[in-house]
């Protein structure tokens, strides 16, 4: 069983994904798969196939590397691109490196500053929602009128 690092005090605002990621990068027994960069400003993903198969299920209840990367992106992590002699190195040429201004070795107090990106809906989706809202309000008004009519008739019957 993996014991997850719980940064900060109890009731911390650090999302589960980030605390598990922190644990994963901090743990020395996972260094062959994921580890801090030399300067501690980023982390490196190594042996991605074994990482997905052996490590992800223990920490994230899935073995989908794409989902892991999607979570990183949603939390604002950026892939570090290394340029050697004006040629961009491909992923298969070596480790994949990710960084975030608030994800730094030895600075777990910064984790609470990492916020999940909020997705904004497209204007046409808002238009559809506005139309649905208009229909709902119209239906509610009709129900209100029927209710008032029934109450009025009931009141007359009681007389």
CA neighbor of 53 nearest in space, from 61, 44, 63: 63
- For 57-71, write each residue's pLDDT tens digit: 888 888 888 999 999
Model confidence pLDDT, tens digit, residues 97-133? 999 999 999 999 999 999 888 766 666 655 667 777 7
pTM exceeding the 0.85 threshold for the entire prediction: no
What pLDDT score does 9 carry? 44
SS3 76: coil
Tokens, residue 90: 């491909």
Torsion angle (degrees, nearest 10) of CA 31, 14, 2, 96: -30
10-35 per-position pLDDT tens digit: 456 788 899 999 999 999 999 999 99
User: What are the residue ranges of helices labelled H in 61-99?
Assistant: 65-74
Residue 88 reports pLDDT greater than 60: no
């Amino acid at each position: 069983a993996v014991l997850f690092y719980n940064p900060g005090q109890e009731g911390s605002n650090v999302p589960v994904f980030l605390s598990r990621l922190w644990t994963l990068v901090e743990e020395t027994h996972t260094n062959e798969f994921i580890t801090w960069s030399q300067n501690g400003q980023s982390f490196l993903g190594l042996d991605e196939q074994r990482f997905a198969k052996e490590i992800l299920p223990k920490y994230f209840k899935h073995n989908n590397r794409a989902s892991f990367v999607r979570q990183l992106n949603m939390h604002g992590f950026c892939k570090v691109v290394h340029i050697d002699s004006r040629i961009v190195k491909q992923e298969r040429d070596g480790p994949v490196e990710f960084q975030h201004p608030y994800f730094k070795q030895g600075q777990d107090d910064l984790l609470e500053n990492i916020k999940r990106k909020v997705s904004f809906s497209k204007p046409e989706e808002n238009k559809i929602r506005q139309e649905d809202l208009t229909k709902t309000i119209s239906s509610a008004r009709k129900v209100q009128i029927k209710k008032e009519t029934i109450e009025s008739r009931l009141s007359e019957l009681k007389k």
